[in-house]
Homo-oligomer: A and B are copies of this chain.
Amino acid sequence: MQGTVLYGPWDVRFEERPDPTIVEPMDAIIRISAACVCGSDLWPYRGIEPIDGPTPMGHEYCGIVEEVGSAVENIEPGQFVVGSFWASDNTCPICRAGYQSRCVDARLMGPEGAQAPLLRVPLADGTLVATPDIPSDDLIPSLLAASDVLGTGWFGADAAAAGPGKTVVVVGDGAVGLCAVLAAKQMGAERIIAMSRHESRQRLAREFGATDIVTERGEEGAAKIKELTDGLGAHSVVEAVGTRESMMQAIRSARPGGHVGFVGVFYGVELPVGELFFAAVHLHGGPAPVRRFLPELIELIWNRKIDPGKVFDLTLPLEEVAEGYRAMDERRSIKTLLLRP
């Protein structure tokens, strides 16, 4: 098959690679229905996260099971499945507590790369969730979104304790931030404030349920949130960027006793504990345990209650993956969908 490989900063290639095969008895091989580029793929693409030689790319996936290993019991060939970017056994105490991304046997997807026609998924029984039937084509972008950006935004809103009667702020207008808006809406938030300066993203935020848009950033952004909340700050804030500035903006936008859920990916950022102490907020975040939410997310998508697939605003054939990276790097695209050849 042909798949996507990152060779170094700004050097993505689509090239011949071996087909994946069953390696462990709990593996499954999936024929990818559509792939996409993740915001976090931009970290190694931009050279911020170093890579160790040519690296197959992609960790978001959904598709049809081709083959399963001898120990797989819950998944069978022919099923349409969605999985998280972390493979997990879903049976250990950490998984049972809802933190599948930190399963005692967690495996980060990607070693073989989901931006390709075929993908090996380890721990298939614990990782994959089958849809009720083969989905129609129009559902595929949303099911693909569930694999990462929706699940991550959902976790951010959950970690921020979004719920009825709450004012929820979302810092970050990438695909994850926009999905956090959608999640807060589904969780019954009373008011949802999206912090965004980009018109197309503001529009989608409103479509997903944002009631207010704040364009200010940093200190000014936090001051604006205070102004909109009787000087108190928001009950819930989702941080979906991953910089010190965005994290401080999130913490300063929350009221004492409020909740900050952070799902941005951080490199080398440090946080002043003294300020965190006096903020008196709850802080929770990490690699999203998407698997916890997948059954609910699939059901919402299947019944057309939510349409997170709208975050894809550019569709390219898989072989043009390099252009997808460029478009997202230059912020011409919120998120790029890659159609298999």
Query: How many of chain A's residues have a CB under 8 angstroms from any CB in B?
Result: 40
State how many angstroms separate the Cβ of A164 from the closest Cβ of chain B.
15
Give the contacting residue for A271; candidates B102, B104, B276; CB below 8 A: B276
A99 contacts partner chain B, Cβ-Cβ < 8 Å: yes
State how many angstroms separate the Cβ of A31 from the closest Cβ of chain B.
32
The digit string for A245-288, where 1 denotes a CB below 8 A from any CB of B, is 00100000001110000100111111111101111111111110
Which one of A90-98, A131-139, A203-211 is at the B interface? A90-98
State how many angstroms separate the Cβ of A19 from the closest Cβ of chain B.
32
Given A104-B232, A257-B98, A283-B283, are A273 and B273 also a contact pair (CB < 8 Å)?
no
A231 contacts partner chain B, Cβ-Cβ < 8 Å: yes
Given A94-B256, A257-B99, A279-B286, are A271 and B274 also a contact pair (CB < 8 Å)?
no
A33 contacts partner chain B, Cβ-Cβ < 8 Å: no
A142 contacts partner chain B, Cβ-Cβ < 8 Å: no
Give the contacting residue for A277; candidates B94, B99, B232, B262; CB below 8 A: B262
A101 contacts partner chain B, Cβ-Cβ < 8 Å: yes
List 25 A-B pairs, Cβ < 8 Å.
Answer: A98-B257, A101-B280, A102-B257, A102-B280, A244-B273, A257-B289, A262-B273, A265-B277, A268-B272, A270-B272, A270-B273, A271-B271, A271-B273, A276-B283, A276-B285, A276-B286, A277-B285, A279-B286, A280-B285, A280-B286, A280-B287, A281-B286, A282-B282, A282-B284, A283-B283
A98 CB contacts on chain B under 8 angstroms: 257
The digit string for A217-239, where 1 denotes a CB below 8 A from any CB of B, is 00000000000001110000000
- Bound form: Cα–Cα A273–B232 in Å: 25
A274 CB contacts on chain B under 8 angstroms: 266-269
